[in-house]
Amino acid sequence: MWNIPQKEFSWAVAGYQGAIAFGQTTCGLLIGCATAIGLKFGQEKEGTPMENKKTRNQAIKVVNELYKDFFAEFDSTECKTLTTCDFSQEGEFVRYLKEQLYNESCLKFHQYVMNRFIGLDKQGKL
């Protein structure tokens, strides 16, 4: 989306599974979308977000809306609560896969976040 060069930015959240494995983290889908929104708002900008406060504030507003909507829909933004798995505990990832817990958690959240993300774009908020 938005012609963001994949080579340079595809590594932006490459290590996030390490945060998930820690057991106390926000849903990676939300982190990924927040990252993409920041990259979108930063396109063709000179300087840092702090040097472009108006644009940064717009990005903050959109990310906040996404998080509020997600929370209203699922009552949490925390991975452990959403998946019912504490990935810091041995065997939890295997259980997650074996019981296909992703069908009622991550896949559902992915669909919601992507639809919301595309909706924000279509509304001209991105």
Q: How far apart are CA 33 and CA 95, in angstroms?
A: 27
Q: Is the residue at 5 inside a domain?
A: no
Q: Is the residue at 8 inside a domain?
A: no
Cite the beta strand spans of the chain per DSSP E. Answer: none
Low-confidence ranges of the chain (pLDDT < 50): none
pLDDT at 23: 78
Q: How many domains does the chain have?
A: 1
Q: Is the residue at 26 inside a domain?
A: yes
Residue 69 CB neighbour total at 10 angstroms: 15
Distance of CA 109 to the CA centre of its chain: 10
Q: Is the residue at 38 inside a domain?
A: yes
pLDDT at 48: 87
| Segment 35-45, tens digit of pLDDT | 889 988 888 88
| Segment 112-121, tens digit of pLDDT | 999 998 999 8
Residue 84: which domain range?
22-122
pLDDT at 25: 87
pLDDT at 101: 93
Angle between helical axes of 28-42 and 106-122 (0-180°, round to 10): 20
pLDDT at 30: 93
- Hey, what are 49's tokens? 């977000």
